[in-house]
Amino acid sequence: MSQTSTSQPPQIKSRIGAILRATSGNFLEQFDFFLFGFYAPLIAKAFFPSQDETAALLNTFGVFWLGALMRPVGAVVLGAYIDRIGRRLGLIVTLAIMAMGTIIIAFCPTYATIGVAAPIIVLIGRLLQGFSAGVELGGVSVYLSEIATPGNRGFYTSFQSSSQQVAIFVAAIIGFTLNAMMPADTIAAWGWRIPFFIGCLIIPFIFVLRRTLEETPAFLSMKKHPTTSEVFNSAAVNWKIILLGMMLAVMTTVTFYFVTVYTPSFGKELKLSAQDSLLVTLMVAVTNFIWNPVGGAVSDRIGRKPVLLTIACLSFLTAYPALLWLTAAPTFGKLLAVELMFSFYFGVYSGTMLGALVEIVPAHVRTTCFSLAFALAAALFGTFTPFAATKLIAMTGDKASPGFWLMCAAASGAIAALLIYRENAVAARAAVAA
């Protein structure tokens, strides 16, 4: 009897509670990422002063992107740690690193106060955030997939992305309230820091939630946990899977950063008010939250491939025409309609993609391979989106030109889905023949 009891790992007591505790760190990550994008013009003035407003904004988005380049490093280093030591402890460590980055940016003096040290300090804060974010999404997605009930992996993993939408919603509400209560000059001078301070106050609460997280039964049931060198070697051997996973995730990351982080800057480019842009972002956060689990649940029933291909093809065909229609005569209603369309694409695709990516990576190095694939997509394409969109408009004079960036992302997703499930079908036929 004792042998039987020790061979069975303990089950998760409350899956709803586990989902809330696991995704709490995602809230902090996306809360701060969105604020950095939304207040990019004010951050540019505070830390990257320039006579050319576009140049200052590009510098700010450049630092935003440089922080994202740390994601692959964090995915490999922290991913190997989580695969070796456990999901629970690893997620606590990533939260601690992320909190450090958030505090640094919130309290950093301006360029006018300490000179060139200011942008350097902000960059350090972003690098820390990027390092931790590199494995945060992967670690949480893997955790959710490993506590999922049979046949519902897509639905469970979709809540990783849904939790980020709550952060967008809260951040947008705070920004909307500040804009209504404070003069624009006050917000530009110091008011933009208030949401960052609020983020710092949330940190202790999230730590309490993460400390009560249970280890997953799947990890506890593993007879052997790989060493760090074994994780690195396995990730190198599975480079093709990681590359295809990155291509699959590109559409998720690009579309997400376009409809959230870049929307306020895009609204300003279209001469719409900050209030209008915030209201659109609020609505997008709500619909993103809804469409993610819908996508995950639908893909659990009909399969990942048809959902991924359908949404990627729709995005490819409609991205530029929709933006062309919007930019021809911009209004709040048209911006809302276009952003809600992209929200539908993002939510359904993301809810499906997360489950698909968990399934194609090897189980013993699941966190490392998943995190690296997603981190590469986010670093090279997703978080580069605000910079790319700003640069495309500056180069072409066409305010709809970010649509071409979205089309490339959609093409990447479609090609990856075709290749992944073609190889899976070939492998299945080979197994049957054997």
Q: Please, what sign has the CA dihedral across residues 370, 371, 372, 378?
A: positive
Q: Quick: pLDDT tens for 107-141.
A: 889 888 888 888 889 888 888 888 887 777 777 88
Calculate mean pLDDT across residues 404-418: 97
Calculate mean pLDDT across residues 261-276: 85
Burial of residue 44 (CB within 10 Å: 0-12, 13-18, 19+) is: buried
**In this model, does residue 334 exceed pLDDT 90?**
yes
What is the predicted pLDDT for the residue at 130?
Answer: 83
Question: What gap in Å lies between CA 277 and CA 185, rounded to an integer?
Answer: 19
Residues 39 and 33: beta-carbon distance below 8 Å: no
Q: How confident is the model at residue 12 (pLDDT cuts 50, 70, 90)?
A: low
**In this model, does residue 433 exceed pLDDT 50?**
no
Q: Quick: pLDDT tens for 357-401.
A: 999 888 777 888 888 899 899 888 988 898 899 899 999 999 999
Domains of the chain as residue ranges with CATH: 12-215+223-433 (1.20.1250.20)
Largest CA distance in the chain: 76
Residues 335 and 270: beta-carbon distance below 8 Å: yes
Residues in Cβ contact with 49 at an 8 Å cutoff, skipping those fewer than 6 apart: 56, 111, 112
Residues in Cβ contact with 401 at an 8 Å cutoff, skipping those fewer than 6 apart: 389, 392, 393, 395
What is the predicted pLDDT for the residue at 311?
Answer: 97
Could you give the dihedral angle defined by the CA atoms of residues 25, 30, 31 and 32, in that order, rounded to the nearest 10 degrees? 100
Q: Quick: pLDDT tens for 32-91.
A: 777 776 777 778 778 877 666 667 767 777 777 777 788 888 888 887 778 777 777 777
**In this model, does residue 235 exceed pLDDT 60?**
yes
Q: How confident is the model at residue 347 (pLDDT cuts 50, 70, 90)?
A: very high
The token duo for 273 is: 């008010």
Best CA proximity match to 60, nearest among 46, 44, 49: 44
**In this model, does residue 9 exceed pLDDT 70?**
no
Question: What gap in Å lies between CA 108 and CA 278, rounded to an integer?
Answer: 25
C-alpha angle with apex 222: 218 to 223, nearest 5 degrees? 160
Q: Quick: pLDDT tens for 196-230.
A: 888 888 888 888 877 777 767 777 777 666 677 77
**In this model, does residue 98 exceed pLDDT 70?**
yes
What is the per-residue DSSP string for 222-261? -S-PPPHHHHHHHHHHTHHHHHHHHHHHHHHHHHHHHHTT
**In this model, does residue 303 exceed pLDDT 50?**
yes
Residues 40 and 386: beta-carbon distance below 8 Å: yes
The pTM score is 0.80
Q: How confident is the model at residue 8 (pLDDT cuts 50, 70, 90)?
A: very low
